[in-house]
């Protein structure tokens, strides 16, 4: 019996529009396919709008699922947000730390999901990090588990 390969997706990708990468959108999509990924989610910092170039390009990559999320800095660390396409969302939290619980509440109200990013990286305080992860993820199964 042949073992079926699962769906492989990277849910935390930055491009040149995030300030953390020099990669252009087309180069990211090409690299995802070269690495055998089935999909990626672009999570630029504080802006869903910044990932718009991927919406235009994804038509040229029909075998690759291309999603858009956002990474927000909170008072207790970074959070990855998925499933929110709200016009007020663009640049939310830019140039300031967002209250983590307020972020979670807002995202849930809008039908999305927020998960802690950078597991294993230093957060403002280890006790705060553990308390926030415990409180925020109650009932939420996903956690970012690997970051190269």
Tell me the CATH number at 25: 3.20.20.140
Q: Rounded to 5 degrees, what angle do the CA atoms 26, 18, 143 make? A: 95
Give domain status of residue 1, yes or no: no
Containing structural domain, residue 83: 9-136
Give domain status of residue 92, yes or no: yes
Give domain status of residue 87, yes or no: yes
State residue 42's pLDDT score: 95
Give domain status of residue 37, yes or no: yes
Overall residue count recorded for the chain in this entry: 148
Query: How many independent structural domains does the chain possess?
Result: 1
Give domain status of residue 2, yes or no: no
Give domain status of residue 3, yes or no: no
State residue 32's pLDDT score: 95
pLDDT in tens, 58-113: 999 999 999 999 998 888 788 899 988 766 666 666 777 888 888 888 888 888 88
State residue 40's pLDDT score: 96
pLDDT in tens, 101-147: 888 888 888 888 888 887 655 545 444 555 555 554 554 445 544 54
C-alpha to C-alpha distance for 91 and 109, rounded to whole angstroms = 18
């Amino acid at each position: 019996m042949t073992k079926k390969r699962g769906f492989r997706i990277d849910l935390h990708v930055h491009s040149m529009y995030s300030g953390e990468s020099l990669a252009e959108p087309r180069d990211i999509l090409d690299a995802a396919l070269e690495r055998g990924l089935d999909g990626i989610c672009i999570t630029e910092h504080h802006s869903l709008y910044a990932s718009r170039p991927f919406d235009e390009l994804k038509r040229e990559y029909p075998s690759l699922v291309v999603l858009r999320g956002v990474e927000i800095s909170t008072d207790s660390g970074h959070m990855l947000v998925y499933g929110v396409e709200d016009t007020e969302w663009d640049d939310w939290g830019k140039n300031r730390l967002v209250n983590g619980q307020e972020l979670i509440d807002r995202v849930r109200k809008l039908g999305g999901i927020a998960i802690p990013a950078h597991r294993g990286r230093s957060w403002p305080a280890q006790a705060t990090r553990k308390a926030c992860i415990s409180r925020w993820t109650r009932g939420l199964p996903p956690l970012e588990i690997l970051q190269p």
